[in-house]
C-alpha cells in the first residue's frame, strides 16, 4: 500500500482522492465526495456562485446596523443638547401596532408634527417591508 502526502495539509494518508478541477491529491478530510473536488476548489466555487439572496441578506444586516448606529447617535445628540441648553421642552409621539389596530400617543408642544413624521415613517417602513420581503418557494 502506497502512503502519500495530502497536497493541502501535508498529512500522510493511504488513500488520496484526486480533485477533478485542480488535480491535487488530497486526504479524506479535504475532499468533497458529492462534487468530486477538494475543499480549496469548493470554497472558490462557493464564493464565485453566490446568489442575489446572499447579497440581499448582507445588505439587510448592514441596513439594520446602520439604523441602530443612527438611533444611538441621535440619543447621544439629544443628551448633549439637553445638557448644554439647560431647560428643554420635550415632545414625543409613538405609533404602536397591535395587529391591524394602531395605537397613537403623544405629548408636548410639537406633538402634531412628530405624529405626522411617525405616520410617514410607518408607511415608508410598511412599503419597504412588502417591497423587499423574500418569497419562499413551495417545495
Verify that 38 and 57 share a domain, yes or no. Answer: no
For residue 59, the enclosing domain spans 52-85
Verify that 80 and 104 share a domain, yes or no. Answer: no
Verify that 74 and 96 share a domain, yes or no. Answer: no
Using 50, 70 and 90 to split pLDDT, how confident is the model at 70? very high
List, for residues 108-126, the tens digit of each pLDDT value.
888 888 888 888 888 887 8
Verify that 97 and 139 share a domain, yes or no. Answer: yes
Higher pLDDT, 46 or 67: 67
In the predicted model, what is the mean pLDDT of the chain? 80
Verify that 99 and 134 share a domain, yes or no. Answer: yes
Number of domains in the chain: 3
How many C-beta neighbours within 10 Å does residue 106 have?
16
Verify that 11 and 43 share a domain, yes or no. Answer: yes
Which distant-in-sequence residues (6+ apart) come within 8 Å of 122 by Cβ? 95, 97
Q: What is the DSSP letter of 86?
A: S
Verify that 13 and 38 share a domain, yes or no. Answer: yes
Verify that 102 and 130 share a domain, yes or no. Answer: yes
Q: Are 39 and 31 in contact (CB under 8 A)?
A: yes
Verify that 8 and 43 share a domain, yes or no. Answer: yes
Amino acid at each position: 500500500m502506497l502512503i502519500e502526502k495530502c497536497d493541502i495539509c501535508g498529512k500522510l494518508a493511504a488513500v488520496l482522492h484526486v480533485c477533478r478541477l485542480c488535480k491535487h491529491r488530497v486526504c479524506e478530510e479535504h475532499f468533497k465526495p458529492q462534487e468530486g473536488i477538494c475543499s480549496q476548489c469548493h470554497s472558490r466555487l462557493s464564493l464565485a456562485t453566490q446568489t442575489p439572496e446572499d447579497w440581499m441578506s448582507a445588505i439587510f444586516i448592514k441596513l439594520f446596523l446602520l439604523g441602530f448606529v443612527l438611533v444611538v447617535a441621535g440619543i447621544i445628540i439629544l443628551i448633549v443638547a439637553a445638557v448644554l441648553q439647560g431647560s428643554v421642552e420635550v415632545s414625543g409621539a409613538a405609533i404602536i401596532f397591535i395587529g391591524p389596530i394602531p395605537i397613537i400617543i403623544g405629548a408636548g408642544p410639537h406633538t402634531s408634527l412628530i405624529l405626522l413624521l411617525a405616520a410617514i415613517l410607518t408607511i415608508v417602513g410598511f412599503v419597504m417591508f412588502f417591497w423587499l420581503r423574500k418569497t419562499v418557494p413551495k417545495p
